[in-house]
Amino acid sequence: MANELSLKYGCNPNQKPSRIFMQDGGELPIQVLNGKPGYINFMDAFNSWQLVKELKEATGLPAAASFKHVSPAGAAVGTPLSDTLKKIYFVDDLELSPLACAYAKARGADRMSSYGDFIALSDTCDEQTAAMIAREVSDGIIAPGYTDKALEILKGKRKGNYNIIQIDPAYTPNPIERRNIYGVTFEQGRNELKIDGNLLNEIVTDNKNIPDSAKQDLVLALITLKYTQSNSVCYAKDGQAIGIGAGQQSRIHCTRLAGNKADIWFLRQHPKVLNLPFKADIRRPDRDNTIDVYISDDYMDVLADGVWENFFTEKPEPITREEKRAWLDTLSGVALGSDAFFPFGDNIERAHRSGVEYIAQPGGSIRDDNVIETCNKFGIAMAFTGIRLFHH
């Protein structure tokens, strides 16, 4: 290890020189095992590593994250996948270790956004996880270690240039962090807040019942938000994020964006989607794009005669708005975390439409009564955590 690593350029090719280094003169906590990670790659790597490390500590389960532009597209823990999820994540032909399950769910939450992602794994990358990653379009990976076979597989990606970073899991950063903006140095204490089920004790709604499975999902959502560009909202279900809204200027836009992603995740499980007659040679990214078009309201315009033949063996029957709404109405048990308080009940109205039954948010709005009243209207259980999770 060294205390400095020169990079090709910064965020953009014109931003030179560029490097990462340790201000205190110590050694970098990482080794580059393959490729040449860039400035944004390392930003994704370090943010995503913190997320999966905390998820593993909070749940005891292996964790994975899929990052794009310094926010997670997906995050998950390694619980088993249903046959339906295996199919929509395109992993029904693979042997899945717990860690591979975690990445399949992290990647599968929002496959459109995860295209070209940076991956973080909480545990040593095994052969099964590497085999899955080898089939996906990805920029790189960070993990505390790699088996020999996994490293061999990953080094074969991107014509041998796949970015592979190994991080020292024992590394502890300085409790004071600094950054420069416009030549001015900012300094603050690191956000070392521990997120666990103890943050969910103040339940302010009539419904006080938050089962352990929902508590795990709420903890997952809150840890995910801790490393998501603010404003941010995260929907979670069965050990994975299913919709993340990041970097929006208003809370309702976060809730809508994340809710729309959660809806797409669930609509991908609709029988009509599962039975789409794709041609055998269609690539996974093309399937993802086509499924998104099929689910959209303008499907008939986009996949008109002369176009659908490029993807399907026969023209599929459209899925109507009424069918989509009826299917979404069966979605339930979704957990929702917010990095700051909800200022209006409209966020709860929108969340309810995507099956949300459990919410964790800081509280503290002058309109808390309205938000609580809206939760009570739908029988939603909501906990006030008392903590904000802004990340910039």
Domain ranges of the chain: 4-172, 194-267+328-384, 271-318
The answer to whether the predicted template modeling score (pTM) of the entire model surpasses 0.85 is yes
Tokens (6 digits) for 382? 């909501």
Q: Give the position of tokens 């998950």.
A: 76
Q: Please list the ranges in the chain whose pLDDT falls under 50.
A: none
CB 48 within 8 A of CB 37: no
Long-range contacts of 257-264 (CB under 8 A, 24+ apart): 257/233, 258/233, 258/234, 259/235, 259/350, 259/351, 259/353, 259/354, 261/109, 261/110, 261/113, 261/235, 262/235, 262/237, 262/331, 262/334, 262/354, 262/355, 263/328, 263/331, 263/354, 264/110, 264/292, 264/295
User: 63: which strand partners?
Assistant: 77
At 310 the pLDDT is 85
pLDDT at 8: 92
Cis before 231? omega within 30? yes
Q: What is the predicted pLDDT for the residue at 303?
A: 66
For residue 167, the cross-strand partners are 30
**What's the pLDDT at 222?**
98
Report d(CA 113, CA 292) in Å as an integer. Answer: 12
Antiparallel, parallel or unpaired: β 334-338 and 356-361: parallel
What's the pLDDT at 135?
Answer: 94
Place of tokens 């030549």: 183
Closest by Cα among 185, 178, 141 to 49: 141
Q: For residue 356, what are the β-bridge partners?
A: 334
One-letter identity of residue 257: L
The two domains 4-172 and 194-267+328-384 share their CATH topology (first three levels equal): yes
Q: Does domain 194-267+328-384 have CATH number 3.40.140.20?
A: yes
What tokens appear for 8 in the block? Answer: 């090709």
Confidence at residue 302, expressed as pLDDT on a 0 to 100 scale: 65
What's the pLDDT at 305? 64
Superfamily of domain 4-172: AICAR transformylase, duplication domain (3.40.140.20)
Distance CA 2, CA 299 (A): 53
First and final C-alpha spacing in the chain? 29
What type of residue is 58? A
Active-site residues: which are they? Answer: 68-69, 231, 392
| Mean pLDDT score across all residues of the chain | 94
Q: Mark out the alpha helices in the chain (DSSP H runs).
A: 39-59, 83-88, 98-108, 111-114, 127-134, 148-155, 212-226, 251-267, 271-274, 284-295, 299-302, 321-328, 346-352, 368-378
pLDDT in the model for residue 161: 96
Tokens 């991080």 found at: 167
Tell me which DSSP letter residue 219 carries: H
Spell out the residues 6+ positions from residue 145 whose beta carbon is closer than 8 angstroms to its own.
124, 125, 166
What is the pLDDT, as a whole number, of residue 3? Answer: 85
DSSP designation for 278: B
- Distance in angstroms (rounded) separating the CA atoms of residues 225 and 1: 31
pLDDT of residue 337: 98
Reading the block at residue 286, the tokens are 């093309």
Tokens of 61: 């389960």
